[in-house]
Structure 1
Amino acid sequence: MAEQKKVFIFDDNTDILELCTFILEDAGYEIKTSSTSNNIIDQVSAYTPDIIFMDNWLPDVGGIEATRELKGHETLKNIPVIYFSANNDVMLLADQAGADGYLSKPFDIQELENIILKHLA
């Protein structure tokens, strides 16, 4: 069997984290979640995910800054970051952050799985 792909989700909404964990574990992914993007480099380095979902509104260090830090990092910059927000300008925010894609909230389960498959293909 193929190695389980690892997804790291940053969101300060525990309901969203629980929902995503439930959906994605069910779909065969390994999940790690965090409610803060502080020390983003350390957090991501410790887990080495295959893909990252980044919420916009995070305490202290926001999603844009955290994504930029990752994208400026020598080895971590190759991990796809999907910007994840209920903002109606999520596409613009993803662009500002230098993210690889975006997913609007609320999302449906199929959209969530599709965007992962697209970026891990």
Structure 2
Amino acid sequence: MDKKKIMICDDDEGIIDVLEMILDEVGHTVISVNDSLKVQAAIDKEQPDLLILDLWMPRLSGQEVLKHLRKHSAHQQLKVIVISASRDGEQVASDAGANQFIAKPFDLNNILESVNALLN
């Protein structure tokens, strides 16, 4: 598989660390952002192939981040996996324009399968 650029936006440093470790291990370049207000600028700068986005974050929710991204033509094709422990997270993620939803706590193999499926 070609090396891809994956951005992770989550306010939980532990989740970022785990995702960075497994995605880096399989050969991807990983950029992490722990502040949802900074993710738009980071996407504009880094041009990731995939965004892994937490749904519930302080200041600006992942749902709002994703809705804002989908309004801009430059980001309409960006692949997005939303992760959340929310009961209604799958519906919220779908309504906001996510390509896929993964419930927390997640299985690392599920994350890798989803990433591979969206990037191939």
TM-score normalised by structure 2 residue count: 0.93
Matches of 1:8 and 1:39, distance apart in 2: 12
Per the alignment, residue 70 of structure 2 pairs with: 71
Matches of 1:104 and 1:71, distance apart in 2: 22
Please tell me whether the aligned partners of residues 9 and 39 of structure 2 are also in contact (alpha carbons under 8 angstroms): no
Task: Choose 14-23 or 81-90, whichever is displaced more.
Answer: 81-90
Per the alignment, residue 19 of structure 2 pairs with: 20
Q: What is the total number of aligned residue pairs between the two structures?
A: 120
Per the alignment, residue 98 of structure 2 pairs with: 99
Please tell me whether the aligned partners of residues 52 and 79 of structure 1 are also in contact (alpha carbons under 8 angstroms): yes
Letter in 2 for 1:46: K
Matches of 1:68 and 1:80, distance apart in 2: 13
Question: What is the CA deviation profile of residues 2-30 of structure 1, one whole-angstrom value per residue up to 9, with x for unaligned ones?
Answer: 65201101100000000000111001111
Matches of 1:10 and 1:35, distance apart in 2: 6
Matches of 1:73 and 1:3, distance apart in 2: 27
Letter in 2 for 1:44: I
Q: Which runs of 5+ in 2 are unaligned?
A: none
Letter in 2 for 1:106: P
Per the alignment, residue 32 of structure 2 pairs with: 33
Please tell me whether the aligned partners of residues 40 and 69 of structure 1 are also in contact (alpha carbons under 8 angstroms): no
**Is 1:90–2:82 an aligned residue pair?**
no
Please tell me whether the aligned partners of residues 81 and 99 of structure 2 are also in contact (alpha carbons under 8 angstroms): yes
Per the alignment, residue 4 of structure 2 pairs with: 5
DSSP-derived class of the 1:38 partner: helix
Letter in 1 for 2:64: E
TM-score normalised by structure 1 residue count: 0.93
Evaluate the alpha carbon distance shift between residue 14 and residue 39 of structure 1 in structure 2; reply closer, same or farther with a 3 A threshold.
Answer: closer
Per-residue deviation at 1:56? 1.0
Letter in 2 for 1:68: K
Matches of 1:73 and 1:27, distance apart in 2: 31
Please tell me whether the aligned partners of residues 40 and 70 of structure 1 are also in contact (alpha carbons under 8 angstroms): no
Matches of 2:72 and 2:96, distance apart in 1: 14
